[in-house]
Structure 1
């Protein structure tokens, strides 16, 4: 049975993560609406996390604990207006007043009310990179470093954003009903790109710029444009370190948590009096994380999931007979797995062994009565068998 992957739209990356428990949860009035902040209290300079379009602060939950342990910093996540628990100014009917400038002003008011309008380190993802860039340009003396995670840079200039928006009418209409924050982001994104084309991060601020190793864009020209935008950004600023996150998609901190956490820690340490201690904790974390990763790889190799993944890779290459042999081996090693029977049944169908495939699907459903995929396959086979011959 295949695990389904979800395509990403444009700037949006709707990602979920494990919940973070060590937080102060609060709504802050920023004028006619409220922003939802979560704060992990620490003793040092705060780190602000700005998420991609459509995401709230919870997208960062999976790396907050370790980042807090290593840096001892106060960690701040939040959701922009109309996202998650953050409300939106319903009295403001002018769509242009819900754009990037409104978002940065909301953030500035919120941080000031919380008492975090002083020195700060920024971490941002995708669309959130616009906010980090804008905040740094407005407060160059306060921002001590920025970690950019697969942000947009200048990718959507030169008419690209207009073409993208023109293809998304149905999604934008849906967001108008179900997700006001994302709706206004989409309605103002053309103006946002124009504004951000004239703004850059001051070169006095140290930056780590991550780019994905597994592109979420599909067209080769688009992939190359995305990479080239990151290359130019690094080349044009001597205070930027560029890192390609190999084997990671758009959500790099989820694909390789130690890479992102240690980059944040290193940048943070350079502005801290506890630099040696922070770097030592980061090193210890790296050692543990590397060892745990090796253990996980060993556990995965030749496991049920490993063989199942291998089998589907062969199916994608139309090497159906080889795939069937792998699934058969997986079944022999895991005779009580409903998923193993289901996968083997799929390969048998592709090798024209329908009767054997039916047996596999029936056994899969016997082991797992909730196997919707198996039931649907059997229903399709039954319908095909009852069709009259021409």
Structure 2
């Protein structure tokens, strides 16, 4: 905590020696959406020459200007460097905590969205393509963990938003076609929709991969015995 307080004090001293006015060119160049990670956005905008950020549902996070190209974001405890070449992007200033890793957030092209954003707008095919693209680039990316996506689908199911839940499990099946669990989850969702025909189909697929899947086996036996 003392190190963080000293770092903040140093930044405040530097900001006091820096002009707080940003050029129109800088405002135009830096305003926009940056890919914070494969499925999350950090938006930079200005209000009366003050740089603000939208991040993780929080609006109007003010960034302290350190110099003409770097700003401190308290919510992250990071100094962000705005770099214009070869294309506008944000780099986090190096520090011990980063362990030598360079964090780089590229500016998104206008109109592009994250997979989650496509999903929220019910552009399900684009959402699926986005998740597959993440997997292709990095199969270990935490945004595409099977359990994480399954939990997301069950959140919709608990809210009885069964169509959305079905679309989430379609994504998980596409990402993990050899997992018994993803088919079992789809079967559960169809059963919640009272679509027993499709429920049986997906429980059967789950059992074809793993005959020891107890949930799928129990549901399949009960539905086919009726």
Tell me which interval the TM-score lies in, with the shorter structure as reference length: 0.3 to 0.5
- TM-score, normalization by structure 1: 0.22
1 or 2, which has the higher strand percentage?
2
Higher radius of gyration, 1 or 2:
1
